[in-house]
Structure 1
Amino acid sequence: MAPVTSDLPQVQDSVSTTLTLLFQTLTNVSLYDSAGRPSRDSLASDLSSLDDSLLKVHRLANALPPSSTPGIPLPLMEYVENGRNPDIYTREFVELVRRLNHLTRGKMHAFRDFRDVLAREMGAAMPEIKEDAMRVVEETGALGRCCWVRRGE
Structure 2
Amino acid sequence: MEVSDDQQQKLKLVETQLKAIVQSLYNLIVQGLEHQGSATQEAMKQEIQSLIENLVKLSRAAPSVHIDIPPEVTDYVEKARNPDIYTRELVETTQRMNQMLKGRSEAYAQMRDILAKDIILAIPELKDDVRKVAESTGGSIDG
TM class, shorter-length: 0.7 to 0.9
Can you give the 5+ residue segments of structure 1 that lack an aligned partner in the other structure?
Answer: none
Superposition map of 1:100-111 within 5 A: 100-111=97-108
Q: Any idea what the Cα deviations from partners look like across 1:124-146, whole Å, max 9, x if unmatched?
A: 1111212111101100112xx3x
- 1:17 aligns with 20
Q: What does residue 126 of structure 1 align with?
A: 123
Deviation digits for residues 80-127 of structure 1 (CA, Å, limit 9, x no counterpart) = 222222222211111111000000100110111111111111111111
What is the aligned counterpart of 1:90 among 87, 100, 105?
87
State the 4+ residue runs in structure 1 displaced beyond 4 angstroms.
none
Q: Distance in 2 between matches of 1:11 and 1:51?
A: 15
**What TM-score results when the alignment is normalised by the length of structure 2?**
0.86
Q: Which amino acid aligns with 1:79?
A: Y
TM-score, normalised via structure 1 length: 0.81
Unaligned runs of 5+ in 2: 1-6
Aligned-pair RMSD on alpha carbons? Answer: 1.7
Count of residue correspondences = 136
Q: Secondary structure at the match of 1:83?
A: coil
| Aligned-partner SS, 2:35 | coil
Percent identity of paired positions between Structure 1 and Structure 2: 32
Shifted more, 121-130 versus 81-90: the winner is 81-90
Matched, 1:135 2:132: yes
- Secondary structure in 1 aligned to 2:107? helix
Choose 74-83 or 46-55, whichever is displaced more.
74-83
Give the helix-richer structure, 1 or 2.
2
